[in-house]
Amino acid sequence: MNVFRFLGDLSHLVAIVILLLKIWKTRSCSGISGRSQILFAIVFTTRYLDLFSNFISVYNTSMKIVYITCSYATVYLIYGKFKATYDFNHDTFRIEFLLVPSAILAFLVNHDFSPLEILWTFSIYLESVAILPQLFLVSKTGEAETITSHYLFALGSYRLLYLLNWLWRYFSQGFYDLIALLSGILQTVLYCDFFYLYISKVLKGKKLSLPA
Amino acid sequence: GYMTGSHDEL
């Protein structure tokens, strides 16, 4: 464990908690893509199937449980409790265009052709594009609530910090994982324009609005 | 080298 990976996990946890609290406190999921949250729940489910079979550390197991619990709770709040506030008119990104290619690619490009490994690879590919419905929703509505932009900033930072973690692990212990690395680069690149808007607008106290 | 088997990252 190095500082980049720890900060990455922390940033990821903060993002997940910010979103859950935003929906719970405001009793509204306006501006949030339920489809992205479904994809994240699928990512965690397919990645952490070894939760009980492969103990790494208390930290690892407890974080996996928190991620899975929070992601399902968020999906429940969006499609269950606060579905009246769900923006189904704008949350229309076709997630099958993300699920099917990720699944096919996971069968073709993986480290080991075993069920757990293929599911892990699928979760890595899917995670790299899982934010697209959310970014699509923000582009359609043309703006995002400030709390939502903080959520996206924390979520985008997590994988950027993981890229630094992989750089660190490569130079310190010769470790590299091309599948996770290339997916992580794609995932982070998707946030670039958002990062620019966040830093140039939100940090100056303005609302995040996309150029119409 | 490549990481196979158990993945130790979240």
Query: By the 8 A CB rule, do A111 and A121 touch?
Result: yes
Report helix, strand or coil for A212.
Answer: coil
Which of B4, B9, B10 faces A111 most closely, judged by CB atoms? B4
Nearest by CB to A175, which of B3, B5, B10? Answer: B3
What is the overall mean pLDDT for chain A? 96
Q: Which amino acid is at A42?
A: I
SS3 A208: strand
Residue B2's pLDDT band (cuts 50, 70, 90) = very low
**Beta strand ranges found along chain A (DSSP E):** 143-144, 208-209
The yes-or-no verdict on residue A44 having pLDDT over 60 is: yes
**What is the model's pLDDT at position A212?**
60
Q: What is the ipTM of this complex?
A: 0.88
Asked if the Cβ–Cβ distance from B8 to A120 is below 8 Å, we say no
| B10·A60 Cβ contact <8 A | yes
CB-CB under 8 Å, B9 with A5: yes
In what helix (H) or strand (E) does residue A36 lie, and over which residues does it extend?
A: helix A34-47
Give the integer Cα–Cα distance in Å for A110 and A107: 7
Residues A9-16: what's their mean pLDDT? Answer: 98
Please state the rounded mean pLDDT for residues A47-55: 93
Residue B10 to chain A, least CA–CA distance (Å):
7
Closest Cα of chain B to A39: distance in Å?
A: 16
- Chain A residues within 8 A of B3 when measuring between CB atoms: 111, 175, 177
Interface of A with B (CB under 8 A): 5, 9, 12, 50, 54, 56, 60, 63-64, 67, 111-112, 117, 120, 162, 165, 174-178, 180
pLDDT at A159: 98
pLDDT over 80 (residue A210): yes
Confidence tier at B5 by pLDDT (50, 70, 90): low
Q: Write out chain B residues lying below 8 Å of A50, CB-based.
A: 6
Q: What is the pLDDT of residues A118-161, one digit of tens each?
A: 999 999 999 999 999 999 999 999 999 999 999 999 999 999 99
At A113 the three-state DSSP class reads coil
